[in-house]
Chains A and B, each alone.
Chain A
C-alpha cells in the first residue's frame, strides 16, 4: 500500500516451509498411503509495515501457507520466525502469546464469527484471553475499535447475522484488531463481498495500515485486488512460490509462464482493452497436489515447456539474468522466478505453443481455428454505433 512506511527489517520470515497432509486408508491400521504436498518448500520474508500479497488459484496451497505461518497447521518441515522469535519450536502458552501479535481475517465473516455472541462479547473474548481487559477502560477501547472499522457504536450489542456482508467483514477486522496485533493475515478478505462493497473493505484496510502501522499478508485469487493493495507479490503454484517481485515489477515484467498466463486471463473492465487483449490459454487443470508432476510442477500445462530440464529438474527460485528487473542490490528487493528458461522466454527466444479453447484434445473436424487472441464477439468490428430503424 504505502511503501513510505515500509522499513527494511523483517517482521515475518519463513524458511523452506513444508506442510504435507497424510492421506490415510483403512480403519484399524490407519495406514498412511501418501501425502498431499500442500506447501512444499516455501521461503518468504515480509518487511514491517508492508503488504505482501500471495496470489494463486484454488489448491495452490496459499491458504495452508497462511495458516502454517500462524502455526495453525502442523509444520512438516521448515521454520517460521516472527519478529526475531522462532515459532516452529513454541508450544502452548508461549505460542498463544505470540499469536496475539499475528491475527487472521477470514474470507467468510459469517462462518468465522460466533452466531451466539454479540459483537461486544466476541471482541472481549480475545482481549480477555490475552489479559488486555485488566486495569483499562474496556468500554472506551471497544468504542475505539468500532470507530476504527467504521461501524456505529450501537453495533456492539448486535449479533453477526444482523449485519450486511461488508459490515460483517468490518466486525471480523475489529476482532482481529482487538488484541493489538502487528501482523494481519487476511485470507480472501473481500472475495465473498459484492463488488461495490469490496472497495469499502480494501480502503478500510489501507487506512488501518497507515494509522496503526500494520503489516499485512493478503491471500487472494484476484490478481487485480492483490496488485492494488500489495507492495510485494508472491505467485504460488502447486505448493511453491514460482515468482516473487515488487507489485509493479511483477506486472510490468512477468517472467514465469504461469504468471503470464494468470495475468492474461484476468478480464479487464474495458471493452477496448478486451478486444485486443492477448490471452495465453492454459491446457487442462491443476494437477493433484497429492501427486505433483516431477521437475517443474507447471510443465504439464506450460506453453513454453522445453524438452530438457522442465520434466525432471525442479527449478529453484532465483534472480534471473534479465536487465529489466531488480537483482536485489542495495535496498531494492530482487525479482525472483522459478523457471529454467526465464531469460530465453523473456528475450522471446522460445515461443509458446498455442492452446485453443477446446484444447487438450485435438479436433480433426469442426473447423475450430486456434484461439490466438481473445476471440472478439461477432460485432466487435463495429466501432460505429449501430444503425437503427430506417
Chain B
C-alpha cells in the first residue's frame, strides 16, 4: 500500500505533524551510587503530536507512571536519576531550571492522576484550587478567576458549578473529584495532558463519562494526550498509537488497529488472550501469562520477559532484543522480540 521504503519511520508520527512532545531514550534510576539501584525506565522513546492520543500500556512495575513523572519533572531530585531527553515543543525539559519547569507545569502541560482524593487538597475548597492555577499562571484575579473556574467546572460536567466552588474534595463523589481534577488540569488550556490511570478508581459508567470527556477535549481543542493505563479496553477506544511497556522498556509500538488485530510481541498477545471480553462467546478458557514480574531476568542478560514467554527460544536469555522496525507486518511497527507471534505479511508482500 504505502511505499515500504521508509519503514524505519515510527508509527504514530504522521506526516506534516511535528511532535509536541518528544521523549528520547529516557532512563530513570532510583537509588544512590552506594546502594543497589533500580532502573524503572530503561530507554523509553515516544512522540506525541497535537490532537493525538498516545497510550502507554503495561502492568504495575512496567515504568509507565515513572515515565510520566519524569516528563513532568515531578521526580525527586535526590534519589532519582533521570537521563535521556524530553523535548516539549523543541525545548529540552530535563535541563530546565526548576523555576522554568514550574512555569510550564499547569500552564502548558498538565497531569491527571489516578486517585483524585489524594491529588486534591482536602482543606481547600475546589474553587480555590482551580482559581489558584489561574492566578499563578494567568495572573487572573478575584471575580474573573472565579468566573473562569465556574466555566471550567461546568465544562467538565459538574452540575451546579457555582455552588460546587465552595465544596471540599470529600463532599464530591469519585467521578466529580476526577472531573474537578480535570478542570484544574485544563484551567490554562495546556497543550499536553498526561492522564495516569484517570479512570481506574472509577466505576465503569463514570469511566465512560470521563473517557468521552477526554476524547472530546482532544478532538476539539487539539490537546496532545498521553494516556497511561493497564486497561486494553480503554486503549482500544482512545489511543491512536499504543506503546506496550514491559519492565521499563517499550516492547511493541503500533497504531491501535493493527496492534489489536495482529499483536506481535508475545506479551501483547498474552495480555489480549488473558482477559475475558464482554462480547465473546462464553466457555473460552482464558490463557494466562504464566508467572509474574518477579520471574523477570535483567534486560542486560536477554529479554526480561523470556522466563514467562511461551515463545522463548535459545536467543532470548542470551541476547538482548532491540526495538527495531518490524518487517513481519504491513503496518509500520516497532518490536523488541527475537521470536514474535505470526504477522500479517507474507513472502509476496515483502
**Bound pair (A, B):** yes
Q: Convert B16-37 into 0s and 1s, putting 1 for each residue whose CB lies closer than 8 angstroms to a CB of A.
A: 0000000000000000000000
Q: How many residues of A are in contact with the other chain, CB < 8 A?
A: 72
Please tell me which one of the listed residues B5, B158, B209, B270 contacts residue A357 in the complex, with CB atoms under 8 A apart. Answer: B209
Is there contact, CB below 8 Å, between A360 and B3? no
Query: What chain A residues lie within 8 Å of B287 (beta carbons)?
Result: 199
A374-B237, A377-B238 known; A285-B176 Cβ under 8 A: yes
What's the nearest-Cβ distance from chain A to residue B30, in Å? 20
A-B contact count (CB 8 A): 221
- Judge whether B42 is part of the interface by a CB distance below 8 angstroms: no
Residues of A with C-beta under 8 A to B52: 378-379
Cβ contacts under 8 Å, B292 to chain A: 164-167, 194, 197
Distance A80 CA – B235 CA, assembled complex (angstroms)? 43
Q: Which of A27-35, A221-229, A321-329 binds B?
A: A221-229
Q: Mark A192-234, 1 if CB is under 8 A from B, else 0.
A: 0011111110110010000000000000011111011100000
Are A271 and B260 in contact, with the CB atoms below 8 A? yes
For the complex, give the distance between the alpha carbons of A360 and B160 in Å. 9
CB distance from B289 to the nearest CB of A (A): 4
Assuming A271-B260, A371-B216, A374-B237, is B161 touching A361 (CB within 8 A)?
A: yes
Q: Are B282 and A227 in contact (CB under 8 A)?
A: yes
What's the minimum C-beta distance from A193 to chain B, rounded to whole angstroms?
10
Measured in the bound complex, the distance between the Cα atoms of B339 and A35 in whole Å is 60
Query: In the complex, which residue of chain A has the Cβ closest to the Cβ of B235?
Result: A269
B197 at the interface (CB under 8 A from A): no
At the interface, is chain A mostly helix, strand, loop or mixed? loop
Q: Are A361 and B232 in contact (CB under 8 A)?
A: no
Encoded as 1 (CB less than 8 Å from any A CB) or 0, chain B from 289 to 303 comes to 110111000000000
- A57 neighbours in B (Cβ, 8 Å): 203-206
The reply to whether B289 and A196 form a contact with Cβ atoms under 8 Å apart is: yes
B198 to chain A, nearest CB (A): 13
Q: Are A377 and B240 in contact (CB under 8 A)?
A: yes
Complex CA distance for A203 and B205, rounded to whole angstroms: 27
Q: Which of B105-113, B115-123, B273-281, B314-322 contacts A (4 or more CB under 8 A)?
A: B273-281
Q: Contacting A200 at CB < 8 Å: which of B175, B230, B288, B332?
A: B288
Q: Decide if A271 touches B257 in the complex (CB within 8 Å).
A: yes
Tell me, in angstroms, the Cα distance from A270 to B263 when the chains sit together: 12
Question: By the criterion CB–CB under 8 Å, are A199 and B288 in contact?
Answer: yes
B212/A375 in contact, CB under 8 A: yes
Q: Determine whether the beta carbon of B260 is less than 8 Å from that of A194.
A: no
Q: Is the CB of B289 within 8 A of A377?
A: no
In the complex, B51 has a CB within 8 A of chain A:
yes
A286 lies within 8 A of chain B by Cβ: yes
Mark the stretch among B7-15, B65-73, B92-100, B137-145 that contacts chain A. Answer: B7-15
Is the C-beta of A90 less than 8 angstroms from some C-beta in chain B?
no
- B278 near A363 (CB under 8 angstroms)? no
Which residues of chain B are near A308, meaning CB under 8 Å?
Answer: none
Indicate whether A279 sits within 8 Å of B212 (C-beta atoms), given known contacts A195-B271, A274-B236, A285-B173: yes
- Interface presence of B231 (CB below 8 A): yes
Minimum CB–CB distance from B266 to chain A (whole Å) comes to 11
Q: Report the stretch among B83-91, B125-133, B149-157 that lies at the interface.
A: B149-157
Asked whether B234 is an interface residue with its Cβ less than 8 Å from the other chain, the reply is: yes
CB distance from B303 to the nearest CB of A (A): 16
Is there contact, CB below 8 Å, between A270 and B277?
Answer: yes
Note all chain A residues with C-beta closer than 8 A to B331: 385
Contacts of B272 in A (CB 8 A): 269
| A357 adjacent to B212 (CB under 8 Å) | yes
Q: Are A267 and B157 in contact (CB under 8 A)?
A: no
Q: In the complex, A110 Cα to B14 Cα: how many Å?
A: 46
Interface residues, chain A, with chain B CB atoms under 8 Å away: 57-58, 164-167, 194-200, 202-203, 206, 221-225, 227-229, 247-248, 251, 261-275, 277, 279, 281-282, 284-286, 356-361, 363, 366, 368, 371, 374-375, 377-379, 383-390
Closest 4 CB pairs of A and B: A267-B233, A389-B6, A199-B288, A228-B276
Q: Which residues of B contact A (CB under 8 A)?
A: 1-3, 5-6, 9, 11, 13-15, 51-53, 59-60, 154-161, 173-176, 203-209, 211-213, 215-216, 218-219, 230-240, 255-258, 260-261, 270-279, 282, 284-290, 292-294, 330-332
A-B contact pairs, 12 of them (CB 8 A): A194-B230, A199-B289, A202-B276, A229-B276, A267-B234, A269-B235, A285-B176, A357-B209, A358-B155, A371-B216, A385-B2, A385-B255
